[in-house]
Amino acid sequence: MTRRKIIKTTLITIGVLLVIGIGTGLYLFNMPHRDVQNTKSDYLLSANEIVQEYLNDKDAANKKYLDAEGESKVLEITGTVAKIDTDFNGQKVVLLQSNESKSGVSCTFPLDFIEETPIVIGQTLTIKGVIRSGAEYNEDLDMYENVLLDKCSLINNK
């Protein structure tokens, strides 16, 4: 094979690999996001139930609710609003926690969330969302961490 033919073959191979790589990247980037609001819930729980599951056996709860591939379970959590806040991204965050519980469920709503009726502290809500992490005791901070739900939507407002 001549030097010219080797360079031509190498450049064509690099070009094909580059086109395949860019095509794959664009496909993955433009994939539709998971529609949590229209997805059937995998579990219906109270805030206390899921917190206790994690505090009693974190590994079993992680196996039950979390997925390494990113398709974690969709949960409907019912609880009492203990705190209403806004995170650094401007997203509304509602903490569902009872007075006797050491930890709660922190529910983050998307930026486009529209409150039809105001959420107030002490109110009982059912919130649907994707679980991102479970409750646990953090020895370094000497405090309990909350269960985290993301992409939340309000199911009912009692």
Share of the chain above pLDDT 90, in %: 23
43-157 classified as CATH 2.40.50.140? yes
Q: In the beta sheet, which residues pair with residue 93? A: 85, 108
pLDDT tens string, the chain, 158 residues long: the values are: 788 899 999 999 999 999 999 999 888 888 766 676 777 888 899 988 888 888 888 888 888 888 777 678 888 999 999 999 888 988 889 999 877 777 889 999 988 877 777 888 999 999 999 888 777 777 777 778 888 888 888 887 55
Q: What tens digit of pLDDT does each residue of 117-140 get? A: 788 899 999 999 988 877 777 777
Q: What tens digit of pLDDT does each residue of 59-76 get? A: 888 888 887 776 788 889
Question: Could you write out the three-class secondary structure of 80-141?
Answer: EEEEEEECCCCCEEEEECCCCCCCCEEEECCCCCCCCCCCCCCCEEEEEEEEEECCEEECCC
Q: Please state, in angstroms and rounded to a whole number, the distance separating the CA atoms of residues 156 and 158.
A: 6
According to the model, what pLDDT value does residue 78 have? 92
Q: How many residues does the chain have?
A: 158
Average pLDDT, whole number, for the chain? Answer: 85
Please report the sign of the dihedral spanned by the C-alpha atoms of residue 56, residue 70, residue 41, residue 157.
positive
